[in-house]
Chains A and B, each alone.
Chain A
Amino acid sequence: MINILIADDEKPIADLLKMGMSKAGYHCVCVYDGNSAIEEVEKQPFDLILLDVMMPGIDGFELMEYIKDFNIPVVFLTAKTSLNDKLKGLHLGAEDYIVKPFEMLEVSARVEGILRRHGKLQDIITIDDLEINTSAMTVEKSGEEIILTKKEYDLLLMFARNPGIVLYKQTIYENVWGGDYPESTRTVELHVQRLKKKLDWSDKIKAVYTVGYRLVVSP
């Protein structure tokens, strides 16, 4: 299982990240200051660190210098939005930069991307008899390839990566199409309908009230 270290002096936020990342299927360890982060890093191997910049004692940048030798990908978390801070963080070798307030889906998507780049995630996602090869961008069901459009593929990937989680139409639109969600659009509904038809997944992708969809997976 992927092991993630979360270091943030704001306990509510550290716990929030832990809860969200656990839902996405990662194992998480929370620390609330720089010193305990160092202790944890020395104690056990991590696949990724979510690191807050502003911490009392040892701050995120200093910590970054120290843990560089462990070769663990680091994602900075901060409320600072200035370009200088971003550059400093990336310059120090951070993989990515997430600005507070953030959305959990965004964090998990970025974390997944980084883990994939570092070869820590498998390229193939399997849901029952469906297999998605994320490097070849192909979808097979019971050994038979299914042709999807780019948008349908992105949509499927979003469901596959967030099983059991309610994906709001607005969130889907923002992630797959990008930009602000237009009030009177049926784009998301139409695409979900077509995807369900192509995959024969009418029982797997369930509408949640009228707000969104959820991929139901058998335990």
Chain B
Amino acid sequence: MNFRLRLIISFALLISIAFGVGGTLLISSAFYSLLKEEQSAIINEYETLHNNLIMVNYFSSFDSDEKMNELIEQMSERNMAHWQAVSLEKSDGVILQKGDQNLLSYDLQVEDQGTYGYVLINEGEKRRLLLCSELETDNDILSLKASFDLSSAYINRDNQLRIFFVIYIVVVAVGILVAVVCANLLTKRLQKLTEAAREIAGGNLSMRTSLRTGDEFEQLSRDFDAMADQLEDNIKCLEEDVERKENFMGAVAHELKTPLTSIIGYADLIRQCNLEEDERMMAANYIYSEGQRLEKLSYKMLDLLLMDKDTFTLRETNIRTLMEQVYVATYPLAVKKKIELKVESDRVNVAIEPDLTKSLLYNLIDNAIKATPEEGRVKVSGIGIEGGCQFTVTDTGYGMEKEELSKITEAFYRVDKSRSRSQGGVGLGLTLCSRIVELHKGSMEFKSKPGQGSRVVVRLFGELQEGDA
């Protein structure tokens, strides 16, 4: 059973029970008070008759049946509706009989003299009150019996019940109608939420409910939408992540396939054909250089893989010592290209991962040298800043277009492919750098103009954690 039906049924039950019980109680209490009233009125009347008879008996000799007859006649005429039958009997015979005597044929005992006995008789539709009493005379005991009609109270009640029944049906019908409308209104909101939940489950993540009803439903709707927003964001993040990984894998595959194609192809030519001496030399040379390229690529890939957060620990490091080591490693590269390499640094201690930072600086300087024609200049500086350190690498090289800057940290992206190839680059240097910067929660900014050289500013931040030192 669904919520809507349950709501309608409960509401209908509530209305019918409450209204039914209330109405019935009201009617029955009215009925009983009316009945009581009638009954006491009848008893009053009977009492009057009884007393009058006693009085008549008292003042006149008791054989004056005529007088009594007259009295009864008078009283019954006064209230015709009630009087059904009356009889007055002596011990040895009937004094007076009036009305349908069958109505009086009911064995009713009077317990005490001077009291009345009465009984309520139900005969199908007809209800009547039968009364009896005894009158004491000088030499005899008379018994008085009378029957009064009481059905008017019942008829009254039945009429009320009939009217009430009609009203009851109408009220319950209206109640059910209201219940249906209310339930529809309520469940419509629920339905909207349900539909939205289904849509989202089905993959339409942009589905929102946005109910503005100003009640709990609105709150639920807001929370639901907030959840959907979060979900959508997360999924988008995941998708982007997957896409990045796929792109990276695709790029790796491409980078691996290119040298492999050459190596396999040239080796195949050598084994299949009688090559001329110069062709053989060329093929062997390509196998050698492409093999070296594969080697370099695998080392860089290994570096990237090994750069795991688990093995990342910061150590107190002197910038100048570090820069001197980097200078020693990069100096031969600069000399080879007749480039003036200048390094200057503060003598400050900062908390960084020294090996990775060295690798970062090496890659940046290597890039700068590669991007600078002979006789150019590369300048490197390192200073301490609030909470970390800042390195700047400036060159007087070829520079880059603005559109290039956003792509240079992508894996295997090269500004000038043939230049990179001829200088032995594999296109992973800056990817590596950006990972190192990321691990230091730092930043890396490039500024460049074509023909005027480039400048990269790297900021690394590190806090020594207890036990790390």
The verdict on B260 contacting chain A, using a C-beta distance below 8 Å, is yes
Whether B282 and A15, one on each chain, are in contact in the complex, defined by CB atoms closer than 8 angstroms, is yes
Whether B272 and A10, one on each chain, are in contact in the complex, defined by CB atoms closer than 8 angstroms, is no
Contact string against B for A residues 7-36, beta-carbon threshold 8 Å, 1 for contact and 0 otherwise: 001111101100110010000000010000
Can you name 9 extra interface pairs (CB under 8 A) apart from A56-B418, A79-B253? A9-B418, A15-B286, A16-B261, A16-B286, A56-B417, A79-B258, A101-B257, A104-B265, A165-B273
The verdict on A204 contacting chain B, using a C-beta distance below 8 Å, is no
The verdict on B279 contacting chain A, using a C-beta distance below 8 Å, is yes
User: What 3 A-B pairs are tightest by C-beta distance, nearest first?
Assistant: A101-B261, A12-B262, A79-B254
The verdict on A166 contacting chain B, using a C-beta distance below 8 Å, is yes
Whether B283 and A19, one on each chain, are in contact in the complex, defined by CB atoms closer than 8 angstroms, is yes
The verdict on A177 contacting chain B, using a C-beta distance below 8 Å, is no
Contact string against B for A residues 61-80, beta-carbon threshold 8 Å, 1 for contact and 0 otherwise: 00000000000000000011
Q: Write the nearest CB–CB distance from B358 to chain A, whole angstroms.
A: 32
Whether B258 and A20, one on each chain, are in contact in the complex, defined by CB atoms closer than 8 angstroms, is no
The verdict on A54 contacting chain B, using a C-beta distance below 8 Å, is yes
* Assembled-state Cα–Cα distance A168/B417 (Å): 36
Most A C-beta atoms less than 10 A away, residue of B265, B275, B279, B286: B265
> DSSP majority for the B interface?
helix
Given A10-B258, A56-B417, is A16 in contact with B266 using a C-beta cutoff of 8 Å?
yes
The verdict on B306 contacting chain A, using a C-beta distance below 8 Å, is no
Number of A residues with CB within 8 Å of any CB on chain B: 26
* Assembled-state Cα–Cα distance A104/B263 (Å): 12
Q: Which of B78-117 contact A (CB under 8 A)?
A: none
Whether B286 and A101, one on each chain, are in contact in the complex, defined by CB atoms closer than 8 angstroms, is no
The verdict on A100 contacting chain B, using a C-beta distance below 8 Å, is yes
* Assembled-state Cα–Cα distance A12/B263 (Å): 9
Other-chain residue from A32, A100, A165 in contact with B261 (beta carbon distance below 8 A): A100
A-B contact pairs, 25 of them (CB 8 A): A9-B417, A10-B258, A11-B418, A12-B258, A12-B266, A12-B286, A15-B282, A19-B269, A19-B283, A20-B269, A32-B418, A54-B254, A56-B417, A79-B253, A79-B254, A101-B257, A101-B260, A101-B264, A102-B265, A103-B264, A104-B265, A164-B274, A165-B273, A166-B271, A166-B273
Other-chain residue from A9, A10, A23 in contact with B269 (beta carbon distance below 8 A): A23
Contact string against A for B residues 259-296, beta-carbon threshold 8 Å, 1 for contact and 0 otherwise: 11110111011011111000100110010011000000
Q: Write the nearest CB–CB distance from B162 to chain A, whole angstroms.
A: 82
Chain A's closest residue to B283 (CB) is: A19
Whether B254 and A102, one on each chain, are in contact in the complex, defined by CB atoms closer than 8 angstroms, is no
Contact string against A for B residues 158-188, beta-carbon threshold 8 Å, 1 for contact and 0 otherwise: 0000000000000000000000000000000
The verdict on B387 contacting chain A, using a C-beta distance below 8 Å, is no
* Assembled-state Cα–Cα distance A168/B250 (Å): 32
Q: Write the nearest CB–CB distance from A104 to chain B, whole angstroms.
A: 6
Most B C-beta atoms less than 10 A away, residue of A12, A20, A164, A168: A12
* Assembled-state Cα–Cα distance A81/B246 (Å): 13
Q: Which of A86-109 contact B (CB under 8 A)?
A: 100-104
Chain B's closest residue to A167 (CB) is: B272
* Assembled-state Cα–Cα distance A102/B266 (Å): 11
Q: Write the nearest CB–CB distance from A12 to chain B, whole angstroms.
A: 4
Given A19-B279, A54-B254, is A101 in contact with B265 using a C-beta cutoff of 8 Å?
yes
Q: Write the nearest CB–CB distance from A86 to chain B, whole angstroms.
A: 15
Most A C-beta atoms less than 10 A away, residue of B250, B258, B416: B258
Q: Chain A residues near B282 (CB, 8 Å)?
A: 15, 19
Contact string against B for A residues 127-166, beta-carbon threshold 8 Å, 1 for contact and 0 otherwise: 0000000000000000000000000000000000000111
Other-chain residue from A80, A104, A165, A168 in contact with B254 (beta carbon distance below 8 A): A80
Q: Chain A residues near B257 (CB, 8 Å)?
A: 79, 100-101
Q: Write the nearest CB–CB distance from B108 to chain A, whole angstroms.
A: 109
Q: Write the nearest CB–CB distance from A89 to chain B, whole angstroms.
A: 16
* Assembled-state Cα–Cα distance A168/B352 (Å): 57
